[in-house]
Amino acid sequence: MSAWALVVAAGRGERAALGKNKVLHAVNGESVLRRCLRALEESGLFDGCVLVLAACDRAAYEALCASEGRSALVKCLAEGGQTRQQSVYNGLRSLPETAEIVAIHDAARPFVTTDILRRSIELARATGSGVACAEVVDTIKAIGEDGRVTTLDRSRLRAAQTPQTFRRAEILAAHARAQAEGWQATDDADLYERHFGRVTLFTAPDSPANIKLTTKEDFMRLGSDTFRIGAGFDAHRLVEGRPLVLCGVEVPSPLGLDGHSDADVAVHALMDAILGALGEGDIGRHFPDDDEEYRGVFSMLLLARVMRLVSERGFRVANADITIVAQRPRLSPYIEEMRLNIAEALGVQSDCANVKATTTERMGYEGRGEGLSAQAVVLLTKGSV
C-alpha cells in the first residue's frame, strides 16, 4: 500500500524571529528542511513526498537544493496557503491518486525517527489514523473565564505532534468538508475527528525527541553552526622597575615586563588569538604601540574592547587556553586568580578558561630569565541565529 509524506514548510516561523522561514535556516550546517526530508528518506517508508512551500520561499528552496542537494523523495511542490490548514489541503490535492496513506508532517520537526513514522503509518493502515503524541511533562492549568484555575489530570493529556497519518481519501474528505463548512483547526487530527468521530493517538519512546523548532531559543539550544579558532603568541623582555602583570594579576617580582602598555604578555597572546579567530589581524593593528592612548594601559581594558568586537560580530567565546612560559617567578600561587579574571573578561564559565605556566628548563630566553612568552588558543562560536 503506497505511503506518501506531505511536508508542511509554508509557515512564516514568526515565533522564531529569524527574519526568514525558519525551516530554511541551517542548524549545524544543514537546513532544518533538509534534515527533515533526510529523516523521511532514510526511513525507507515512503514512495514520495509533496512539499508545501510558500511561493515567496521557492527561490530560497532552489538555492538550498543547489548547495545541499535535492531530496529524491520530493516528487512535487505545492503552494502554501494563508493558514496551515489551507496549506495541508493544497498539499493533499497534489498527491497522486495512487497514494493510499499520507503522513502529514511539519518540516519544523526534523528529529522525527523511523520508529515514530512506522508506528504512525501502521496505525493509519489498521485504524484510519495514527497521530504522534508526547506525554505531557508539565502540570497543565486551565484558566476559566472567571479566572478560576483548574489543574488537569496529566495522565489523560497528550501533546499532539506530527506525523499525523491517515488514509489519503479520508483526510482529503475531512479537509474538503472543513473547507465547505468553514471549520478552522490547528491540526489534521482535529479535522479527522470531527468528520469521522475518532482518532488514534500514540506515544513512542522517541516522542520527547520529536520536538518542534518554534522559538529562537529552540534554535539556539541546538548549538552553533560556526566555529572559529585562533592562536596567539607574544613575548616581552623582563626589566627592572616595572610591575609584572599577567592575566590582569600583579605578581610580586623584582623584574617586570617591558612594553608600551602594561606588557601583560598573556593577555596580549589571548587578544591576538581572538583577533585571529575573527580574521581581524592582530593587536598591533587595533592598539598601535606608538599611540599615546595605550601608554601604560591595563591590557584587561583592551581585552574588554576586543570582546566588544567579538559580540558585535555575533560570536562568543567557547573556551580559551593560555600557556605562560616563565622560568621565574613561580606562578602557581596566582594561576587560579588569573583564570577567574580571564573567565570573567571572556564571559565564560570558569572551566572554559584555562591558564597554565611552564618553564623551559633553563633553555632559551625564558630559561635565562631575559623575558617571558605566552601562547593562547581560543575557540569562538556563533549561534545558529
Grid cell, residue 209, equals 525527541
The nearest distance, CB 374 to Mg ion, in angstroms, is 9
Of residues 165 through 224, those in contact with Mg ion by CB under 5 A are: none
Angle at 272 between CA 266 and CA 277, to 5 degrees: 130
Residue 367, SS3 per DSSP: helix
Nearer to Mg ion, 109 or 236 (CB): 236
The nearest distance, CB 299 to Mg ion, in angstroms, is 8
Q: Answer for the pair 47, 99: CB distance below 8 angstroms, yes or no.
A: yes
The nearest distance, CB 267 to Mg ion, in angstroms, is 9
Tell me the window of 132-140, 234-242, 317-325, 352-360 that interacts with Mg ion (CB under 5 A). Answer: 234-242
Nearer to Mg ion, 234 or 280 (CB): 234
Grid cell, residue 99, equals 497514494
How many residues at the interface with Mg ion, by CB under 5 A?
2
The nearest distance, CB 286 to Mg ion, in angstroms, is 12
Examine residue 280 and tell whether it contacts Mg ion (CB under 5 A).
Answer: no
Residue number of the CB closest to Mg ion reads: 268
Q: Answer for the pair 125, 45: CB distance below 8 angstroms, yes or no.
A: no
**DSSP alpha helices (H): ranges in the chain?**
32-43, 58-68, 84-94, 114-127, 168-181, 188-196, 216-221, 265-278, 283-286, 299-312, 335-346, 364-367
Grid cell, residue 321, equals 587556553
Nearer to Mg ion, 70 or 295 (CB): 295
In a 10 Å sphere around its CB, with 0-12 CB exposed, 13-18 middle and 19+ buried, how is residue 339 labelled? buried
Draw the binding track, 253-272, toward Mg ion (x: CB under 5 A; -: no contact). Answer: ---------------x----
Q: Which residue has the cell 618553564?
A: 359
The nearest distance, CB 256 to Mg ion, in angstroms, is 13
Q: Rg of the chain over CA atoms, in angstroms?
A: 30
Which of 106, 187, 190, 234 is the binder for Mg ion (CB under 5 A)?
234
Side chain identity, residue 72:
A
Q: Which residue has the cell 490547528?
A: 186
Tell me the window of 118-126, 186-194, 214-222, 227-235 that interacts with Mg ion (CB under 5 A). Answer: 227-235
Report how far residue 345's alpha carbon sits from residue 76's, in angstroms, rounded to the nearest whole number: 53
The nearest distance, CB 282 to Mg ion, in angstroms, is 10
Nearer to Mg ion, 32 or 374 (CB): 374
Nearer to Mg ion, 171 or 265 (CB): 265
Nearer to Mg ion, 9 or 251 (CB): 251
Nearer to Mg ion, 16 or 245 (CB): 245
The nearest distance, CB 289 to Mg ion, in angstroms, is 8
Q: Which residues here bind Mg ion, judged by CB under 5 A?
A: 234, 268
